A = this chain, B = another copy of it.
């Protein structure tokens, strides 16, 4: 029943998500000994216009 969530910028290909699901689950089971069958993983795509750092949206050009 462990649940892994990954929030990242939108635009990753299905191939990359497939590899991430496999590799992250592998890493989790290798470290914890939990069965892979019980591991869920959800990706959440976030647009650059919905993500900010230091109060600036990633969709906005840096001012310097």
Distance (whole angstroms) from the CB of A18 to the closest CB of chain B:
6
**From residue A63, how far is it (CB to closest CB) to chain B in Å?**
12
Tell me which of B27, B34, B44 contacts A23 (CB under 8 A): B27
Total residues of chain A contacting the partner, CB 8 A: 51
Complex CA gap A51/B42 in Å reads 5
For A18, the chain B residues whose CB sits under 8 A away are 57, 60
**10 pairs, A vs B, C-beta closer than 8 Å:** A2-B6, A2-B9, A7-B42, A8-B34, A14-B57, A18-B60, A24-B28, A26-B27, A42-B51, A44-B50
Please report A residues at the B interface, Cβ cutoff 8 Å: 1-9, 12, 14, 16-28, 30-32, 34, 36-46, 49-60
